[in-house]
Amino acid sequence: MSSEDGSRRLKRREKNRVAAQKSRKRQTQRELTFCMRVGGVLSIPHCCLKACELLEQKNRKLKREVDSLSEEQRLLTEALRAHEPFCPIMHCSFASSTSSSLQPDAMAARSV
């Protein structure tokens, strides 16, 4: 191997080393940015675990909220159905043309 080949090889290795350092720095920065968005700056492995725990907590909270809202919808639908036979507004001609919009299925379709 000539000295020219050796110097080219050293330059290439140095260039590769610098590129690898930049890549690792960018990755670390992305992880820190993610951790700060999720809530708190910690060591990277701990941060990722903490982020995962926080996301799982948020997911559980949202599932409880969905369950609660579904139950509330069920109770309100039940109350509406029980009220319909006695409601004077539901029996007038105007209400009969719009009463279908008050049905839970129609309301769900409109919200989509």
Chain-wide mean pLDDT for the chain? 78
Task: Specify the 3-state DSSP secondary structure of 110.
Answer: helix
Residues sharing a CB contact under 8 Å with residue 89, sequence separation 6 or more, in sequence order: 95
| 96: pLDDT strictly greater than 60 | no
| 9: pLDDT strictly greater than 70 | yes
pLDDT at 29: 82
Buried b (16+ CB within 10 A) or exposed e, 8-27: eeeeeeeeeeeeeeeeeeee
pTM recorded for the entire structure: 0.42
pLDDT tens digits for 24-78? 889 888 877 776 666 554 555 666 777 788 888 999 999 999 999 999 999 999 9
